[in-house]
Amino acid sequence: MISPDGREAPALTASHSGCPVICTLSGGLSYAPGVGERVGYARCSPDEQDLAAQRGALLGLDVPEEQIYLDHGPTGTSSDRPGPAQALAAVRAGDTLVAPRLDRLARSVPGARGVKLSLGGTLYDPADPMGKMFFDILAAFAVFGAGLLRMRTREGMAVARAKVKLKGKQPKLTARRQSHLVQQHQSGEHTIAGLAELFSVSRATVYRVLDCHRNAATPSTPGGQ
């Protein structure tokens, strides 16, 4: 079998009730050599970019556009996604079920129930101890990857919060806009309410800016007199 980069790659095939074939190259699930239609399936995150990426990956594996089934939405362990059932309903004997990666096909062991994997001529059936161990390893890697993603997300949020704290509370008006507000007030053309609307701030903010300006303009008396 030839991988997308043109090199030979070992195949991982699977049969569902003895009919469709799932085949993987290093780096992704692809089609097995032979005749028949290719039906594609992938789980996608809510991100529209991921949806486009998975569709593009399946098209790159020679799956016709009309034979692509995608589940698009929040990730989770729910087994009621319509995509897998639709994809399996579309395959016939001799067809090939294609997925960009194994984790895009079955998120966990229950999600892969009924699928047997054959690696290097060895059949892995989840019904026997060896096959169950193999599926458990696949599930562990899926859980590990999801955990890493959650950890990185939390770390990113923590960094973002830390940056906000370091910056401190930012003033609603820059120094230049505060000076402009004072000038507009001194012109006598605007009321406090008018200034608040003009600068998109509350009247309390307008009063604070004017008070700060008056305090800064009032010279201090030596000796506090």
Please say whether the beta carbons of 29 and 101 come within 8 A: yes
Catalytic option among 3, 15, 26, 45 = 45
| Nearest one of 55, 62, 57, 52 to 27, comparing CA atoms | 57
Report DSSP letters for 56-68, one per residue.
HHHHHTT--GGGE
How far, in Å, CA of 186 to CA of 71, rounded? Answer: 62
Tokens representing residue 46 in the block: 């809510």
* C-alpha neighbours within 13 Å on the C-beta side of residue 176: 0
Tokens representing residue 118 in the block: 């054959």
Mark whether 45 is an active-site residue. yes
Please say whether the beta carbons of 143 and 137 come within 8 A: no
155-163 contacts: CB < 8 A, separation 24 or more?
Answer: none
Q: Amino acid letter at 177? A: R
Tokens representing residue 188 in the block: 């006598």
Tokens representing residue 61 in the block: 């594996």
**Active-site residue list:** 45
